[in-house]
């Protein structure tokens, strides 16, 4: 039987795996890190972001599975996934795009894969935090009676 604690940890882990493993897998190639059309300055920022997010992911996995600490891991994961969603939402303000130089874009059912994956992860992790907050309030109120 799947417990709530296992489900909560699995949802957070799903989010972590997206930004710490899947994104580097998709971006350490000629479309991003080794793209000859990108300036060296942009490449430094790309590799820095990949390394930072993977490091945060390792920390979050340790927090979740070794220390049984899901709140901090959830908050860090929301910052990473939410940061992408905010950057995507503001892309027109700074000339950003999820399209490759050839005009193609990775989509599923017409939705950009980054928006779909990080959007699902963000909503699920946010749900976990809200449920935990509500459970904490209910338990505090029970103890006060």
- Domain ranges, residue 82: 4-144
Whole-prediction pTM = 0.89
- Digit-coded pLDDT (tens) for 74-104: 999 999 999 999 999 999 999 999 998 889 9
Structural domain total, the chain: 1
- Tell me the DSSP string of 72-121: HHHHHHHHHHHHHHHHHHTHHHHT--SS-TTS---EETTEEHHHHHHHHH
- Digit-coded pLDDT (tens) for 48-78: 999 999 999 999 999 999 999 999 999 999 9
Q: Looking at residue 29, what DSSP letter applies?
A: S
- Is the separation of the CB atoms in 66 and 72 below 8 Å? no
Tokens representing residue 59 in the block: 């920390």
């Amino acid at each position: 039987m799947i417990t709530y604690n296992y489900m909560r940890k699995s949802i957070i882990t799903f989010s972590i795996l997206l930004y710490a493993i899947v994104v580097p897998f998709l971006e350490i190639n000629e479309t991003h890190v080794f793209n000859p059309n990108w300036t060296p300055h942009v490449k430094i920022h790309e590799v820095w972001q990949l390394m930072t997010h993977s490091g945060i992911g390792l920390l979050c996995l340790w927090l979740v599975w070794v220390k049984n600490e899901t709140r901090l891991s959830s908050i860090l994961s929301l910052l990473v996934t939410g940061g992408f969603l905010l950057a995507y939402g503001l892309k027109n303000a700074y000339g950003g795009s999820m399209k490759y130089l050839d005009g193609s874009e990775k989509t599923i059912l017409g939705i950009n894969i980054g928006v779909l994956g990080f959007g699902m992860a963000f909503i699920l992790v946010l749900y976990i935090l809200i449920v935990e907050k509500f459970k904490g309030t209910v338990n505090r109120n029970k103890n006060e009676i």
